[in-house]
Chain A
Amino acid sequence: MPNSKYLIFLGCSIPYRVSAYEISARKVLAKLGVELVEMPEFNCCGLPLDPVSHETMLILAARNLALAEQQGLPILTLCPGCAGTLKKVDKILKEDKVLREQINGHLKESGLEYKGTVTTKHILQLFKEDVGIDNVRKAVVKPLTMLKVAEHNGCHILRPKEYIGFDDPEDPQTLKALIEATGATCLDYIDETECCGAPSVGVSDKVALQLAKDKLSHVKQADAMALITICPFCHIMYDTNELRIEKMFNEVYGIPILHYPQLLGLALGMTPEELAFNELRVNTSKLLKQVNEGAK
């Protein structure tokens, strides 16, 4: 593995309310030999403020990149929004020298400078490029062949392709391959690459919940036993809102929403307790029973 030491960039939503993702990701990465160093003094990646001030987003992202440069280590994120933003800003500032000087003028106020010497990866890209999907498969001790699940990539790990570019936004393969590496089957369903709706929460809850409802219906139609996510916002959108959506639209889904490292962790022989399954809202007992019975 060429790069096995990363600065971990947590972003805001994960420490705020998605600890199961962080706990399971840290455990799985440790097992696969990836060393994580805590990133000091980081701030919001900038993405949430892009709608109101592009310049603010650029400065916040560049500040994070400059801090990572001081450590001399590449950045690893668990949130696709953070990864997408840091990658995009790195590319923009590398290509536009005038803008870089302007942004560095701001960073100088706090003694920092962006030089463009570190790369950023999302955990999915790290699994694919650093660990390698074959090595993930080889590390599996408890193949999850009894499970049929669906994946939800979300938007910012795929689009805009110009800045993210490690998977095909129209027909993404990485997460599917990583799910299949655990032994589970990854099912296809309608509108797989569509948005979960989370960014519309707070502006129009109606639109947001209808988007999530349609996704859950399609996942249910495919007979998936769980939905696997790699984004804290998508996870909140489905896991936190599933019961609300069921009530609102008079539907029954009962689909557990797992963070990918939780699924992988099970296949690596870790227990649901170690992987913080208790932090999930949608009941996972039926799913875990199927895992246990299938393993016998």
Chain B
Amino acid sequence: MAENAAPVVKDEMKEPIRASEINPKFKYELIKLHGSEKLLKCFQCGTCTSDCPVARYSDTYRPRTILRMATLGLKDRVLKSETLWLCAACFTCTDRCPQDVEVASVIRVLRNLAAEEGIVPQVFKDQCASVLESGYAFKIPDLRIKKRETIGLPPLPKGNPESVRRSLNGVPFMKHFEKKGDCDAKQ
């Protein structure tokens, strides 16, 4: 089956760590961000990984490893890691962490930082483009909208994409969708 993950498949933990790639202040940047405030409380017990439904089927996705990479300061490596995008956001790890670390939210923070640098799987770019264009995350075909009447549903309320776009002015991630009316990501 085709895997359409954007970055290169690699098991990050098997690569030797060089002192030069460690950014010792990275964890302090992270604990200022909403969702990863409690990152430093992680004591690497592995509850997150052992309860993770994705880790069960993936050879590379391990939430504990991602948190360790973050606290070690392997900033570039963790942000470029393709495994970051495998989290299904089921929040089992967050609910079960004995240290109250919001594990899924730490992963979301790391994804946000990667995305700001332009590292984003295509599926998210498509949804963002669609929100800017129509207000909805998926482009709902006209045929579908018309079909509603024939199957007894009220008309779909008209969106206001212009107002949505105005509200999103100045959001850093939107730089990838800059040109007005042009919803294709630059990447």
Enumerate chain A interface residues (CB-CB to B < 8 A).
10, 12-13, 15-17, 19, 22-23, 26, 38-44, 48-56, 59-60, 63, 92, 99, 106-107, 109-112, 155-156, 159-161, 169, 194-195, 197-200, 202-211, 248, 276
Contact = CB atoms under 8 A, between A and B. Distances in A.
29 contacts: A17-B144, A19-B151, A44-B131, A44-B135, A44-B136, A50-B89, A52-B111, A52-B124, A53-B112, A53-B116, A53-B171, A53-B172, A54-B108, A106-B167, A106-B171, A110-B160, A110-B164, A155-B88, A159-B90, A159-B94, A159-B95, A197-B88, A199-B89, A205-B1, A205-B4, A206-B3, A209-B1, A211-B57, A211-B88
Nearest to B55: A207
B86 A26 contact: no
Given A48-B127, A49-B131, A54-B35, A23 B153 contact: yes
A208 B89 CA distance: 13
B173 A26 contact: no
Nearest to A107: B167
A56 B171 contact: yes
Given A199-B88, A203-B123, A204-B3, 17 more contacts: A13-B138, A15-B136, A39-B157, A42-B157, A42-B159, A43-B159, A59-B171, A60-B164, A106-B167, A110-B160, A111-B163, A155-B89, A202-B4, A204-B86, A207-B58, A209-B1, A276-B151
Contacts of B168: 56, 59-60, 106
A275 to B, nearest CB: 11
Contacts of B124: 48-49, 51-52
Contact of B102 (A15, A17, A56, A160): A160
A198 B88 CA distance: 8
Given A19-B153, A22-B153, A54 B112 contact: yes
Interface string B42-79: 00000000000110011001000000000000000000
A44 B137 contact: yes
Given A200-B54, A204-B3, A169 B95 contact: yes
Top 10 A-B residue pairs of the complex, sorted by shortest distance between their CB atoms? A159-B91, A202-B123, A53-B173, A110-B163, A43-B135, A52-B115, A195-B90, A155-B90, A199-B88, A12-B137
A40 B157 contact: yes
Contact of B157 (A41, A169, A195): A41
B39 interface: no
A52 B120 contact: yes
B181 interface: no
Given A41-B163, A161-B95, A51 B108 contact: yes
A42 to B, nearest CB: 6
Given A19-B151, A50-B108, A51-B124, A207 B54 contact: yes
Range class of the B interface residue count: 35 or more
Contacts of A205: 1-4
Contact of B34 (A17, A54, A56, A60): A54
Nearest to B121: A203
A200 B86 contact: yes
Between A13, A41, A54, A248, the greatest number of chain B beta carbons within 10 A of the residue's beta carbon is seen for A54
B145 interface: yes
Contacts of B104: 160
B5 A203 contact: yes
A265 B128 CA distance: 36
A161 B121 CA distance: 29
Given A159-B90, A199-B89, A210-B57, A16 B140 contact: yes
Contact of A15 (B144, B158, B161): B144
Nearest to A207: B57
A41 B160 contact: yes
B166 interface: yes
Contacts of B173: 52-53, 55-56
Interface in B90-125: 90-92, 94-95, 102, 104, 108-109, 111-112, 115-116, 120-124
